[in-house]
Structure 1
Amino acid sequence: MPLLTIITITYNAEQFLERTLRSVAKAARLVPGVVDEVEYILVDGASQDGTLQIAEQYSSLFTRILSEPDKGLYDAMNKGLSLATGDYLWFLNAGDEVHDGQVLSRLLHAFQDPADVYYSDALFVDDSGQEIGLRSQVTPHALPKEIHWQDFALGMKISHQAFIVRRTIVPAYDTTNLSADIDWEIKCLKRSQKTVYLPFVLCRYLTGGISARHRRRSLLDRFKVLRGHFGLFPTVVNHIRIVARGLRFYSFKK
């Protein structure tokens, strides 16, 4: 049984997929015996472009490639969860990258001190691959060295691609909510007996995505998620704090 399952979700992702696959291949080459320690699964939503042809060029990298119609991103992610056999799960979607060639070896070393959740910062990049900055520096979401689910009262503290979870504690994603990733992380942290901060950056995160494209619905769905975990009145108050914090942060940045 592998220690780590990396899952990549794609749909018509030919523009960015190779960026992800190159980064995984580079990191894997630097880890002796990585074939036994890491499995790599691609879940594709029946892409109509060159996504699968690109994936086939890296076929030796994959343990499993599944391509079939799905009901959206979180349905595909649930399929990935059902296929995974590793002790830990890491989602890297098309366009996201392993931060550098040392990440996998450092991550496998960290697993020697078992925890339920590992997390770190994420480096934001744009479509061209140009670095924007660490998430904790270019957004209002500072990243604490110790974290609890209650810290999500003001929004998502950890990038989804910098959040690695023991497979035995993960819930399914809510396929009806565009902010299901926040809900999933909170639920994982509620179940975690030990959560560990990693002192190195796990990933290069491609900004944008479904939440950015459907901003208004995503914000409403985030409110629903936080209301479910924190209650209505605290969530209303906290959203006022979120707006005020954002205004202060971006005013200061200017």
Structure 2
Amino acid sequence: MATVSVITICFNNLADLQATCASVDRQERHPDEHYIINGSTAPDIRQWLEHTPQPVYRKWINERDRGIADAFNKGIHLAAGEVTHLLNSGDLYASADVIAAMMQVFESDPAVQWTSGNLSMIRGGQPVTVGKPFEKDKLYRGMRSVLHPTWFVRKEVYGRIGGFKDYKIAMDYDLMCRIADEPYRYIDKTITVFDDTGISSTAYLRALKETRTVYESYYGRSMPMILWQLRLKTLHHLLNTGLGKWLFRIKKKLGGENW
């Protein structure tokens, strides 16, 4: 059987980390290791890890980091598993069989280097499930529901394409631009319940701007991206109005939340 490392980064959010750890512990197939990368300034996470009984697969490192990308890279470097999953503190596995189902994909097809699936989240004030197969020719659309919290990635991939670059928000999109040619499979399964209090959600317009910077660094100026981002900005502003929320509820009833 292939081995799997789950990596969770955290910063001064003990309750979120505890919820994520409980989600990992409920899995039918536990990870071979669950690494906690704790960059907190407060001592409560370190104290909880060190003074509360933890499963044998849980490991941790308590030291300051230089931000999200640096914390991700620390976890990937430490991971011993053949497959990695980055499950941020506050995010949860959607069901007890997620790790088992995803590892079956890698074990049945050694050619697969990374996978993505579906994500449960709040959009327009409504609970929705989103997820689409990755298509390289649509990278100008940003993440496009190929959402990083659902990715399982063979560790060897990072040896070929490198780790996360030090962007403030769009480090996952930058990675997707570099992972685009690796053999991939979409899994039509809800993988993760997303904590939407993170910076990619609360600073959405900044995320769009950084996404454009990343895309242009690889592919140059793109009119399709400019027009697509204009659409996304319009929808973002609309969803923050009563009318927009009402229209989204109608869209959801028609099954269009993933359009």
| Category of TM-score, reference length = shorter chain | 0.7 to 0.9
Deviation sequence 1:157-202 (CA, Å, 0-9, x none)? 2221101111111221111442111111221123x0x211112211
**2:194 is paired with a residue of what secondary structure?**
strand
2:147 is the counterpart of 1:159: yes
User: Quick one: which amino acid aligns to residue 236 of structure 1?
Assistant: I
Taking structure 1 as the reference length, the TM-score comes to 0.81
User: Quick one: which amino acid aligns to residue 124 of structure 1?
Assistant: M
2:135 is the counterpart of 1:132: no
Deviation at 1:123, TM superposition (A): 0.8
Residue 17 (structure 1) aligns with: 17
The correspondence for 2:189, drawn from 197, 200, 208, is 200
Task: Name the CA shift for 1:50/1:10 in 2 (closer, same or farther; >3 Å).
Answer: same
State the identity %.
20
| Correspondence 1:157-236 to 2 at 5 A | 157=144, 158-170=146-158, 171-190=162-181, 192=182, 194-234=183-223, 235-236=225-226
Any conservation in 1 of the 2:205–2:233 contact (CA below 8 Å)? no
Q: What 5-or-longer segments of structure 2 have no aligned partner? A: 250-259
Deviation at 1:217, TM superposition (A): 3.3
The correspondence for 1:239, drawn from 229, 235, 257, is 229
Residue 6 (structure 1) aligns with: 6
Q: What 5-or-longer segments of structure 1 have no aligned partner? A: 137-142
Deviation at 1:82, TM superposition (A): 0.9
In the aligned structure 1, how far is the partner of 2:53 from the partner of 2:205? Answer: 37
Residue 255 (structure 2) aligns with: none
Any conservation in 1 of the 2:68–2:168 contact (CA below 8 Å)? no
| Correspondence 1:68-79 to 2 at 5 A | 68-79=63-74
Question: 51-60 or 8-17, which moves further after superposition?
Answer: 51-60
Any conservation in 2 of the 1:40–1:61 contact (CA below 8 Å)? no
In the aligned structure 2, how far is the partner of 1:58 from the partner of 1:147? Answer: 40
**1:222 is paired with a residue of what secondary structure?**
helix
Task: Name the CA shift for 1:124/1:242 in 2 (closer, same or farther; >3 Å).
Answer: closer
In the aligned structure 2, how far is the partner of 1:22 from the partner of 1:124? Answer: 19
Task: Name the CA shift for 1:102/1:82 in 2 (closer, same or farther; >3 Å).
Answer: same
User: Quick one: which amino acid aligns to residue 53 of structure 1?
Assistant: Q
User: Quick one: which amino acid aligns to residue 116 of structure 1?
Assistant: Q
Question: 236-245 or 150-159, which moves further after superposition?
Answer: 236-245
Instruction: Give the aligned CA root-mean-square deviation in angstroms.
Output: 2.7
2:138 is the counterpart of 1:120: no
Residue 40 (structure 1) aligns with: 34
Paired residues in the alignment total 235
**1:181 is paired with a residue of what secondary structure?**
helix
2:101 is the counterpart of 1:110: no
Taking structure 2 as the reference length, the TM-score comes to 0.80
Task: Name the CA shift for 1:8/1:253 in 2 (closer, same or farther; >3 Å).
Answer: same
Deviation sequence 1:52-80 (CA, Å, 0-9, x none)? 23334353254421110111111111111
Any conservation in 1 of the 2:119–2:190 contact (CA below 8 Å)? yes
